[in-house]
Copies of this chain bind each other. A is one copy, B any other.
Amino acid sequence: MSLSFRHDTLGQRVRFGSGQAAEALAAEVEEGGWSRVMVVAGASEAELAARVTGGLPVAHVHDEVVMHVPVPVAERARAAAAAHDADVLVSVGGGSTTGLAKAVALTTGLPIVAVPTTYAGSEATNVWGLTEGSTKTTGVDPRVLPRTVVYDASLTLSLPVGLSVASGLNALAHCVDSMWSPHTDPIDQALATEGIRALDAGLPRVAADPTALEGREETLYGAYLSAVAFASAGSGLHHKICHVLGGRYDLPHAPTHAIVLPHVLALNGPAAPAADARIARAFGADDGLAGLQRLRARLDAPRALRDVGLEESQIPDAARAILPVVPPSNPADVGVEVLGDLLRRAWEGADPR
């Protein structure tokens, strides 16, 4: 088969080291020649942000962080950046915090140094999002890609174990789905493979001991790779299914991903043997599904959509709603019957096949 692809590698520095965030930030701000830092950090991150930005020339701390970045919140942050004459944005927090910094960078062109405290991955992408009322607008712009990401796993220690595992499994779903997403290429697949390896090594350690740094480090590193791969590859079948289930029936994000993923892998794996072999290698398992199921068992991951709010009677409607958004490039043939069967098994908590 001939190799043909286009891949845009996003230029970005990563500084990775536990307990090193303050030092790394100081080095970055000095190297950038910046002297008026606007710190973006929500109230719940205030103490942590103060600790890691204590050595910086801070001109303003902006703590109005709201999920999904509502436009008025973004406008106030932009006004604050201008009022305080900021020359760099340092975000400390999860996806919403990074997202707010991106909203400011989008219109001001200010560089971002991002310090993530969750496994959300937004820090590694050039995607921004804003909401106006109930409408979410997203876009891609080189200005919103953080110049540098400072990963310090000690900052994730306060993330509760349940949320950590859910967020880590979400990252894993990004990696697996990247294998057959519409824009996938071998580079995405190689990075996703490494992401699976890291998440498979890290997540069970986080679950076993949420205070142990090494599991946090592996998981954070894996989450970074999952974001890089997924941002380039785009949404595959798995994310299309979960998006419909979440949007139409208000199912919870992370458990839905955790439940659906093995069923998509069971469907696509045999139709995409090279991708399945990569996933298997990453897990150190005989095939991709065996590796995923072993990890899910170790994490006691949720099994059934019936347990998270889907009604049996909604399955046919869900299958019909998913059908038009199935990527034409999906490796396995997917009709409404295949979708119905997949959803029924996921609903029951049956073994994937």
A interface residues, Cβ below 8 angstroms from B: 1-18, 20, 153, 185-187, 190-191, 193-194, 198, 213-214, 217-218, 221, 225, 281
Chain B neighbourhood of A214, CB < 8 A? 1-3
Which residue of chain B lies nearest to A13 when distances are taken between CB atoms in the complex?
Answer: B8
In-complex Cβ contact of A4 among B4, B5, B10, B16 (8 A): B16
Chain B neighbourhood of A20, CB < 8 A? 4
Chain B neighbourhood of A281, CB < 8 A? 281
Contact between chains at B8 and A217 (CB < 8 Å): no
Which residue of chain B lies nearest to A20 when distances are taken between CB atoms in the complex?
Answer: B4
Which residue of chain B lies nearest to A2 when distances are taken between CB atoms in the complex?
Answer: B18
- List, sorted by A's number, 10 A–B pairs whose CB atoms are closer than 8 Å: A3-B16, A3-B153, A3-B217, A4-B20, A6-B13, A7-B13, A8-B13, A14-B187, A187-B225, A190-B191
CA–CA, A205 and B8, complex, Å: 28
Chain B neighbourhood of A191, CB < 8 A? 190
Q: How far is the CB of A52 from chain B (nearest CB, A)?
A: 16
Which residue of chain B lies nearest to A191 when distances are taken between CB atoms in the complex?
Answer: B190
8 other A-B residue contacts (CB within 8 Å) besides A3-B214, A3-B221, A186-B194: A3-B218, A5-B17, A7-B13, A7-B16, A9-B9, A9-B11, A186-B221, A190-B225
Chain B neighbourhood of A17, CB < 8 A? 2-5
Chain B neighbourhood of A7, CB < 8 A? 13-14, 16
Which residue of chain B lies nearest to A8 when distances are taken between CB atoms in the complex?
Answer: B13
Chain B neighbourhood of A194, CB < 8 A? 186-187, 190, 193
Q: How far is the CB of A60 from chain B (nearest CB, A)?
A: 28
CA–CA, A99 and B172, complex, Å: 40
CA–CA, A175 and B187, complex, Å: 15
Contact between chains at B9 and A13 (CB < 8 Å): yes
Which residue of chain B lies nearest to A281 when distances are taken between CB atoms in the complex?
Answer: B281
Which residue of chain B lies nearest to A4 when distances are taken between CB atoms in the complex?
Answer: B17
Most buried by B among A1, A5, A225: A5
Which residue of chain B lies nearest to A1 when distances are taken between CB atoms in the complex?
Answer: B214
CA–CA, A4 and B194, complex, Å: 17
Most buried by B among A1, A8, A18: A8
Contact between chains at B6 and A9 (CB < 8 Å): no
Chain B neighbourhood of A4, CB < 8 A? 16-18, 20
Q: How far is the CB of A210 from chain B (nearest CB, A)?
A: 17
Chain B neighbourhood of A186, CB < 8 A? 194, 198, 221
CA–CA, A185 and B217, complex, Å: 14
